[in-house]
Structure 1
Amino acid sequence: MAYRSRFVGFGSFLPKNIVSNEELSRRVDTSDEWIRERTGIRQRHIVSDGENCTSMAVHAARQAMEYAGLTVDDIDAVIVATCTPDQIFPTTAVKVQKELGMKKGFAFDVSSACAGFVFGLSVADNFIRNGQAKNVILIGSEVYSRILDWSDRRTCVLFGDGAGAVVLSAEQTNEDVGVLGVYLHTDGQYSDILYVDGVPSQTADQCFLKMQGQEVFRHAVTKLSEVVDEALQAHQLGHKDIDWLVPHQANLRIIKGMGKKLNLPAERVIVTVDRHANTSAASIPLALNEAVRDGRIKQGDLIVIEALGGGLSWGSSLVRL
């Protein structure tokens, strides 16, 4: 029997500070109607003093471990997907390991922008399949408010802060369950359409996200469709086999477009972008946590996960919960 990675724990953290579209419209030349029409976003969470990438990740990780019924002594690895760390090194994962009181195993970060959780999932799954880890905490934690130009209405309205976490555990089985596969791509020729013009840190005040929105949108629709079909074909599955789409929460138009391409009714597509905005690598685990805890996603369901971010980097995964 082979080792499979099973999702056994889910957690999240969102800052209490909520910024509505109306509040943003008092800072920049925009409006609630303009933002909703183009993105589907109506609010976002923004960190307050004392909150950062590490603290949010720790809260989410503790929730996920509690859900899984595990303690830090059971955890072999901590992987944090982030492109907004609190410092260059030690990595956020190392700081999370310390705060959790974890004395064994290893910890490191993965940086693939909005695709970070999918890339991190591939790494965690390989550790488990190869027998190098039994229980892995995978966290997406982002503080995009730190790298936004709050005078640029094209970008500042799109993003929010937050963290989501899952616990992946090894199970020896021949059944078609757990993480069935992860499919990754990058294409560096598009690195100039979505990037940050410097190195983000808590002290950098001239380091901003830059984006050619129309170009990113165009590539997202095409590339995400292709990588989801790639995953389905690899497992001889079709659109009719999908129970849930859990997409990266970047833009409601992209999410709806993917749902239509997969022939999924709207109620089978998990949407949180309206309340969370784009939380980059945190968006998929935040959405998973919500949908599992409220009972929509159940054990045995086939889930499609997909994301695209700067790089360009994109990927998908099939998960049988």
Structure 2
Amino acid sequence: MDGSETRILSVGTALPGPLLDNAALARRFGMDEIWEQWIEAFIGASTRHLAVDLESGEVVSSLTELGETAARRALENAGLEPGDVDVMVLGTAMPDQLMPTTVNMIADRLGINEVPTYQLQSGCTGAVQAMDLGRQMLLTPGRRHALVIGGEVCAKHYDLSVDVKKLAPDELVNLLLFGDAAGAAVLTTDEAPQSLVIRGLMNRLTGLGRPPGQTVDWFGLIDRDSARQAVSEDYKAIEESVPVMSAEILRELLDDLGWAETDVDYLLPPQLSVKMTDRIVEELSVPGAEEVSCVSEISNTGNALPFFQLEQLIPQMAEGDRAIGIAVESSKWIKAGYALEKV
């Protein structure tokens, strides 16, 4: 684990469309009051934002548009211009197209050119992977600022004609669990007062021999009418594995840094759902650490969500405060996490 002095200089986020509560979601899909109560009991999230108009079926925001907005806000918060960016990295499981890459479309909208750009195809650990790659790229002499982005537009996989009463549990979970969003952060190697130093960062595949916990399929012209699911997940496997893996990530970060649990002032846990987050935090059992969570307001937004957590965290941290962020990807079981200190 590298302890180089890379800092998070700023963060920006973006949400599409109006806020959508569970009652509106239940009405749109013909759910009765019992279904609405089930959403709140099983998922826990009360609101989300979607990049599709549920009435018309029109996609109202692309990942490119959301990523551009989040990136502009991050740059503005850092006091930088697009021309100050030396490298760009995007982590997403839901790019707008296979090619051209969404990261390059965002760069084009920002007016960024003649810099390295990378797009990482990844689920819930993609934001941490983007930070890791951005940090590594800043080791090249002459590079000062990395723009890292994460986001998802999951709603494009919705079938608005579906009868939810006929859905299998893994399909129903995917319909109700996710929201759409993008987030961005500016990393720098410059000395920056009141910034967050990345003290540690881990990103490791651990799924050898294990079946995927989540699958996102794609379709070409030859199989676009296939009856197979676009998105599916083994929620039971996720429910059993993620709390345990989260505790393992926390312990490894603390051991590598020589930190005790009592040294952690803020905890940024995985944000699968409100119910799962509560279970994970209980499993982690970090006494005295303040939890930073936003899943109840925006639902699970995948690779955007860590940036929303950081957006909450940054104004709260005082000099010397320490934070641990944890992410687990169930697609092929990836462990990721990061440790921050305010200096």
Structure 1 residue 153 displacement after superposition: 2.2
Q: Which amino acid aligns with 1:198?
A: W
Q: Secondary structure at the match of 2:76?
A: helix
Q: Does 1:153 align with 2:163?
A: no
Determine if contact 1:270/1:291 at 8 Å carries over to the other structure: yes
1:314 aligns with 2:324: no
Which residue is equivalent to 1:98? 108
How far apart, in 1, do the equivalents of 2:317 and 2:198 lie? 15
- Residue range with higher mean Cα deviation, 26-35 or 6-15: 26-35
Corresponding position: 1:69 with 2:79: yes
Consecutive unaligned residues of structure 2, counting only runs of 5 or more, are: 53-58, 165-170
What pairs up with 1:238-253 in 2 under 5 angstroms?
238-253=260-275
TM-score, normalised by the number of residues in structure 2: 0.84
Is this contact kept in 1: 2:16–2:49, CA < 8 A? yes
Supply the distance in 1 between the matched residues of 2:220 and 2:322 (Cα, whole angstroms): 37
Equivalenced residue count is: 314
Give the TM-score normalised by structure 1: 0.89
2:319 is aligned with 1:302: no
> Which range moves more in the overlay, 255-264 or 306-315?
255-264
1:135 to 138, 141, 145: 145
Q: Distance in 1 between matches of 2:157 and 2:89?
A: 22
Matches within 5 A, 1:140-289: 140-148=150-158, 151=164, 152-171=171-190, 178-186=197-205, 187-198=207-218, 208-264=230-286, 268-289=290-311
Equivalent residue letter for 1:318: A
Q: 1:189 to 1:17 in 2, by over 3 A?
A: farther
| CA separation of 1:254 and 1:299: change in aligned 2, threshold 3 A | farther
Q: Distance in 1 between matches of 2:210 and 2:22?
A: 30
Q: Could you report, residue by residue, the CA deviation over 1:74-102 in whole angstroms, capped at 9, with x for unpaired residues?
A: 11011111111111012111111111011
1:297 alignment partner AA: M
User: Is residue 262–residue 288 contact of structure 2 (8 Å, CA) maintained in 1?
Assistant: no
Kept after mapping to 1: 8 A contact 2:66/2:182: yes
- Structure 1 residues 42 and 50, CA, compared in 2 at 3 Å: closer, same or farther? closer
1:111-122 matches, cutoff 5 A: 111-122=121-132
In structure 2, relative to structure 1, the CA distance for the partners of 1:122 and 1:55 (3 Å cut) is same
Partner residue in 2 for 1:44 = 48
Kept in 1, the 8 Å contact 2:267–2:289? The answer is no
> How many Å separate the matches in 1 of 2:153 and 2:90?
13
Name the % identity: 23
- Say if 1:138 and 1:200 are closer, same or farther in 2 by CA, change over 3 A: farther
The residue type paired with residue 296 of structure 1 is: Q
Question: Separation in 1 of the partners of 2:225 and 2:142?
Answer: 40
- Residue 205 of structure 1, CA deviation: 8.1
Q: Give the Å deviation of 1:51.
A: 1.2
User: Does the CA contact (< 8 Å) of 1:84 and 1:200 recur in 2?
Assistant: no
Q: Give the superposition deviation at 1:132.
A: 6.7
Which structure would you say has the larger Rg? 2
- The range that moved more, 267-276 or 128-137, is 128-137
Residue identity opposite 1:12 in structure 2: T
C-alpha distance in 2 between matches for 1:73 and 1:31: 50
Contact 2:92/2:151 (8 A) holds in 1: yes
Contact 1:193 1:215 in 2 (8 A): yes
Deviation track 1:146-184 (CA, whole Å, cap 9, x = no partner) reads 2345644222110010011110001369xxx61112112
Contact 1:144-1:160 within 8 A present in 2 as well: yes
Q: What are structure 1's unaligned runs of at least 5 residues?
A: none
CA shift for structure 1 position 23: 2.0
Find the aligned partners of 1:110 and 1:319 in 2 and give their Cα distance. Answer: 23
Q: Quick check: 2:242–2:280 contact (8 Å CA) kept in 1?
A: no
Q: Whole-Å Cα distance in 2 between the matches of residues 287 and 269 of structure 1?
A: 10
Moved more, 24-33 or 55-64: 24-33
Q: Following TM superposition, by how much is the alpha carbon of 1:256 offset from its aligned partner in structure 2, in angstroms?
A: 2.3
Q: Structure 1 residues 251 and 245, CA, compared in 2 at 3 Å: closer, same or farther?
A: same
The 2-side partners of 1:141 and 1:57 are apart by: 7
| Alpha-carbon distance between aligned partners in 2 of 1:28 and 1:192, rounded to the nearest angstrom | 31
CA distance in 2, matches of 1:253, 1:233: 28
| CA spacing shift, 1:272–1:97, aligned 2, 3 Å | same
Question: After the TM superposition, which of the residue ranges 125-134 and 161-170 deviates more from structure 2?
Answer: 125-134
Q: Considering only aligned residues, what root-mean-square deviation do their CA atoms show, in Å? A: 2.6
> Aligned with 1:4: secondary structure?
coil
Q: Is this contact kept in 2: 1:3–1:172, CA < 8 A?
A: no
Quote the residue 2:24 is aligned against.
23
